[in-house]
Amino acid sequence: PYFQGSNDHLIAARDAVSLPVLRKDFMIDPYQITESRALGADCILLIMAALDGAQPHEFEQQAMEMGMSVLVEVHNEEELDMALDLDTRLLGINNRNLKTLEVDLGVTEKLAQMLPQGTLSVSESGLRTKADLDRIADLGVYCFLVGESLMRQDDVEQALKTLLGVD
């Protein structure tokens, strides 16, 4: 796993919830897709920046044949164009530049305007405050992938309440 996780984390998440579970990792080999299903994943992440040629189509087809959904992640217009050639309409816009690790919510602001009707969009990375969530929700993006800003907190439950503005 590339995000400092482990297969045990995915198994624990699967055992803890009845909600769909996403395997958030760089999928670069078809074996990982089969492994994801065996571990209990309901959805895989396809990071367009890590794939080339026919890989996105092949990986998406394999996942769907195995009964999994696909969240396609993009960082720019070029990747968005490639992603829109796929069947899935579950699309993540990552605000973190993979090369510099800098975060810019303007990425979601720009790319969200280019999504076709019927796309379920997810803003990923850099969402730290209720104001950030509101800013992105004003664009019609109501799904958020929040990780680092919660996981760095001592009290994750309280941090989530604060992020959602419910404390």
pLDDT in tens, 75-123: 999 999 999 999 999 999 999 998 899 999 999 999 999 999 999 999 9
Give per-residue burial for 43-74: e unless 16+ CB within 10 Å, then b.
bbbbbbbbbeeebbeebbebbeeeebbbbbbb
Q: What mean pLDDT comes out for the span 33-49? A: 97
Question: Does domain 7-164 fall into CATH 3.30.360.10?
Answer: no
Distance CA 22, CA 42 (A): 6
pLDDT given at position 100: 93
* pTM: predicted TM-score of the whole model, two decimal places: 0.91
DSSP summary character for residue 49? G
Instruction: Please report, for the chain, the start and end positions of each structural domain, with discontinuous segments joined by +.
Output: 7-164
pLDDT given at position 120: 97
Q: What mean pLDDT comes out for the span 159-167? A: 90
Torsion of CA 159, 160, 161, 163, to 10 degrees: 90
Contact 84, 56 (CB under 8 A): no
Main-chain dihedrals φ then ψ at residue 85, nearest 5 degrees: -80, -10
Helix (H) / strand (E) containing 79: helix 77-83
pLDDT digits (tens, 9 = 90+) for 138-154: 999 999 999 888 888 99
pLDDT digits (tens, 9 = 90+) for 7-21: 999 999 999 999 999
